[in-house]
Chains A and B, each alone.
Chain A
Amino acid sequence: MTKSLIAIFTLVFVGKIRFRKLLRILDLITLKEAMKLPKEELVDFKKDLKKKIDEKKELNAYVGLEESGDGVPILVKDNIQVKDWSVTSGSGILQGYISPYDATVITNMRESGLSPFGRANMDEFAMGSSTESSFYGKTLNAHDSERVPGGSSGGSAAAVGAGVAIASLGSDTGGSIRQPAAFNGVVGLKPTYGRVSRYGLGAYGSSLDQIGPIAQNVEDTAILYDIISGYDSKDSTSAEMEYHPTAPNLNRDFKYRIAVIDNYIKDASPEIQKAYENTINLLQKMGHTIVHKNMTDAKYDISAYYITAMAEASSNLARYDGVRYGTRVSGENLKDTFIKSRSAGFGDEVKRRILIGNFVLSSGYYDAYYVKAQKVRYLIKQKYDEIFRDADMILSPVSPTLPFKFGEKKDPLQMYLSDIYTISVNLAGLPAISLPVEWSGGLPIGLQLIGKAFDEQTILNGAYGLESALN
């Protein structure tokens, strides 16, 4: 028996990992524990981890097993740059590309003794909610191999859910951390826009993207969040403000005013509605105050979000032209080479979004679509501000349904609608944490706590308390 396993058993016996009963992850140490392991034990642990990953190959959460550094291994979504790795955003067009630099989050991790370890599968260019659009094929749900792991950070969440990653990094443009976290029974945090540097994150929707942690529990989530966040002069949209670490200040005992959005829940499936009600009751029992609010109709969120994200994406993805790196299919002339390379390199969903994005930006349509979407975005922000004048956080579903089956959502619009509970958070730039609250027929249900901008501490505290109460 290896030293690390001894360490785990010791911890199990002293009862420190009780929560795993809920999470059904019984065979992996936490990030907090791993960070305390001596170097030699970490080496053994990594060997075991690789074995485990190999045993669960069919999960397809890892699309690469690169290692860089001898720190605590953290799985990294395939759109976050790690020096000397082939980082491909789950796309055919970036095959063969080797990143010459580290994203700021990777630099931050290295400085805290964490090392990037493996690339996580994802929807191509983070466009999707099921990880089905990846160049590398689908990733399975950690708890049901017939169902999707969610997306776009499906690999990052499934690996943690299946016990083959201690913790991982994902990115969230419209729910891409929170929804897969919910689908795999793990915790995921989408930080406030500007909290975590985007330098080195392959861009999808620049005004919406944020990197965030996915972990086995709230405390690990806070630890990894603290490590990756903070001002970065390389990202102009990074918030230049003092950073107060959240993990050492986690408090499960604070009592909060928690808003629930009454006109939202009708769109959720019965299992989700039930879990939502149960959680509201539990929160009240814990001594929190529930306040009832309404939001603007979520259909506006969908329109504003997809117009904004696709417009930005159409421009962000224009650099993949076959000239400097990645896939090139030579044509008869320059224009032909552009067309052939991009036609061969991009998948259908990416092409669809590029086309729509270009359309909404074209002259004659710009005001009707893009400008209008920004106005809606402003109104959504205002609506949130209004709620936060009377509440510390908002409780909301993450997904309107349980994890769905592969191929179930063939119509792209159906897929877009699965984001209704998550996208307004990105439009408003707010922080939100997704955590598992119940199981239904062997599938996890996650809910999210949405917080005020730059007040991650409050939602982490709320989630920490709820997590304890659930155990």
Chain B
Amino acid sequence: MDFEIVIGLEVHVQLNTETKLFCSCPTSFNERENSNTCPTCLALPGALPVINREAVHKAIQLGTAIDATVNKHSKFDRKNYFYPDSPSAYQISQFYQPIVENGYIDIEGKRVRVARAHLEADAGKNIHEPNYSKVDLNRAGTPLLEIVSEPDMRSSDEAIEYLKKLHSILRYIDISDANMQEGSFRCDANVSIRPKGDEKLYTRVEIKNINSFRFIQKAIDYEVERQVEAWEDGVYEDEVWQETRLYDANKNETRSMRGKEEAADYRYFPEPDLLEVEISDEALERYSKIPELPDQKAERFQNELKISEYDAKVISSSIELAHYFEDMILHGASAKGSITWLTVELLGRLNKQNLDISQSPIDSKKLCSLVKAIEDKTISGKAGKDVLDYLMENDISVDDAVEKLGLKQVNDDGAIISIIDEVMNSNMDKVEQYRGGKDKLFGFFVGQVMKASRGSANPNKVNELLKEKL
């Protein structure tokens, strides 16, 4: 039987606000355990939450970016459950009336609907030791935006594409660091299968605990396989039920979190300590003004710089890459040269070292100088690669690197002619043969001249002058 895969994604995004969602504690990372806390985020008796407007404004920005409805009235509810990292034993979230609804994100050839995005408070962290556990509440109360897609994706590839696009949008409008390793971009996947052609949605399984794009893809693929196998073995009803499973990256498998009978009842009810979130017309107008988004940037690059759709998309896929590229253009590199040297040469080298563009040892100005040096023929393209390699390891200027490597391209006719003369003098026999009609030897002379110049002679000039002299 042919199956169709149905995937919906829930992404928890930590908003990059200065302070927590319901108190004025800082949201900074890597502080001493439990130092970023106060009566409110410790849930001491009598402490009360107060909404951080900055988080509301960032939610408006997201709503605008995904072309969603930003509700001028939204509400907070309590989601009740006991766990040591949740000090109040309830999470303040938006269950009944979220702030953002009905948006979408376009991926290649498809529109994925975003059902809702709502504000909620993050939990702390449990740290498990062999015989006891510790609780760090620095993260407790950090603002999260939970972005929930409709079950519109039909493959793990589409799921990854959606996530990358969402990630890119978040960085473009700068409402989150969206760093998966640090946990500021966390994804849960809802996965189900159905026979091809069937319209009905079958049992969905939620997979949690996945912290990289690669693992998300593997987790989904594993889960699909598990469900298909269960179907084919005739045990679908027994083995697939609505539950939450954890992904184990070491074993590459998903595991049941709790038994079938222990379904959680969160006993949601309206949070009595907070009023409705009201968004004024002024606030809505002000925070609806967002920077250029990835698709808009790609389109502009195509129009203004006459580059291909493919190149434009690659360049604008991340805000850091786009800014890097824009900076190169601004400082006078050509679009074509910038694309090649950025996306092929530099990114290739960065990938090998597992770095991303924001960690590049070569900044946009330096790469721009290199491209310009190649474009004005100060160095050859081949020498450019050597210079780039050198710059990856050494923090010096392009000029100094060229100098140091002795790769300055020789364009001066006199200098090239004297090399040619030298080569001809020491190869008189070959000169005779060439003049006698052995045309193939021309390549030999070019090679000898380039070698003698240690690659620095401009090859076009060498060709031209050799022809004259011979």
Q: How far is B46's CA from A132's CA once the two chains are assembled, in angstroms?
A: 23
Q: How far is B45's CA from A234's CA once the two chains are assembled, in angstroms?
A: 14
Q: How far is B78's CA from A95's CA once the two chains are assembled, in angstroms?
A: 27
Partner of B45, one of A89, A233, A237: A89
Q: How far is B48's CA from A87's CA once the two chains are assembled, in angstroms?
A: 17
Contacts of A101 in B (CB 8 A): 39, 44, 47
Q: How far is B270's CA from A237's CA once the two chains are assembled, in angstroms?
A: 13
1/0 per residue, CB under 8 A from B, across A185-203: the answer is: 0000000000000111111
Q: How far is B267's CA from A81's CA once the two chains are assembled, in angstroms?
A: 28
Partner of B89, one of A103, A312, A319, A363: A319
Contacts of A284 in B (CB 8 A): none
Determine whether the beta carbon of B82 is less than 8 Å from that of A338. Answer: yes
The 10 closest A-B pairs by CB, nearest first: A318-B89, A361-B267, A206-B272, A207-B272, A202-B45, A200-B46, A319-B43, A81-B46, A319-B88, A323-B84
Determine whether the beta carbon of B50 is less than 8 Å from that of A233. Answer: yes
In the complex, B90 has a CB within 8 A of chain A: yes
Partner of B274, one of A89, A236, A334: A236
Contacts of A200 in B (CB 8 A): 46-47
Kindly list 10 other residue pairs between chains A and B, CB separation below 8 angstroms, not including A233-B50, A319-B89, A335-B82. Answer: A81-B46, A89-B45, A99-B46, A199-B46, A200-B46, A200-B47, A234-B50, A236-B48, A318-B80, A362-B267
Tell me the nearest residue of chain A to B50, going by C-beta: A236
Q: Measured between C-beta atoms, what is the minimum distance from A194 to chain B in Å?
A: 10
**A residues bordering B, Cβ < 8 Å?**
79-81, 87, 89, 94, 97, 99-101, 103, 198-203, 205-207, 233-237, 311-312, 314-315, 318-319, 321, 323-325, 334-335, 338, 358, 361-363, 366, 370
Determine whether the beta carbon of A198 is less than 8 Å from that of B265. Answer: no
In the complex, B87 has a CB within 8 A of chain A: yes
Contacts of B43 in A (CB 8 A): 319, 324
Tell me the nearest residue of chain A to B266, going by C-beta: A363
Q: How far is B47's CA from A97's CA once the two chains are assembled, in angstroms?
A: 14
Q: Is the interface of B mostly helix, strand, loop or mixed?
A: loop
Q: If the complex has contacts A199-B48, A202-B45, are A370 and B89 also in contact, measured as CB distance less than 8 A?
A: no
Q: If the complex has contacts A236-B274, A363-B265, A366-B269, are A325 and B44 also in contact, measured as CB distance less than 8 A?
A: yes
* Residues of chain B in range 239-255 having any CB-CB distance to chain A below 8 Å: none
Determine whether the beta carbon of A363 is less than 8 Å from that of B82. Answer: no
Q: How far is B275's CA from A103's CA once the two chains are assembled, in angstroms?
A: 20
Partner of A94, one of B39, B45, B87, B88: B45
Contacts of A361 in B (CB 8 A): 80, 267-269
Interface size class for chain B? 20 to 34
8 contacts between A and B (CB under 8 A): A87-B46, A199-B48, A201-B46, A205-B272, A233-B50, A236-B275, A237-B275, A319-B43
Partner of B39, one of A100, A205, A358: A100
Determine whether the beta carbon of A315 is less than 8 Å from that of B269. Answer: yes
In the complex, B273 has a CB within 8 A of chain A: yes
Q: If the complex has contacts A236-B273, A361-B269, are A324 and B47 also in contact, measured as CB distance less than 8 A?
A: no
Determine whether the beta carbon of B45 is less than 8 Å from that of A87. Answer: yes
Q: How far is B87's CA from A335's CA once the two chains are assembled, in angstroms?
A: 15
Q: If the complex has contacts A207-B272, A237-B275, are A334 and B84 also in contact, measured as CB distance less than 8 A?
A: yes
Q: Measured between C-beta atoms, what is the minimum distance from A154 to chain B in Å?
A: 20
Contacts of B267 in A (CB 8 A): 314-315, 358, 361-363, 366
* Residues of chain B in range 46-88 having any CB-CB distance to chain A below 8 Å: 46-51, 78, 80, 82, 84, 87-88
* Residues of chain B in range 247-305 having any CB-CB distance to chain A below 8 Å: 265, 267-269, 272-275
Determine whether the beta carbon of A99 is less than 8 Å from that of B44. Answer: yes
In the complex, B42 has a CB within 8 A of chain A: yes
Determine whether the beta carbon of B39 is less than 8 Å from that of A97. Answer: no
Determine whether the beta carbon of A370 is less than 8 Å from that of B272. Answer: no
In the complex, B135 has a CB within 8 A of chain A: yes
Q: How far is B273's CA from A183's CA once the two chains are assembled, in angstroms?
A: 31
Tell me the nearest residue of chain A to B83, going by C-beta: A334
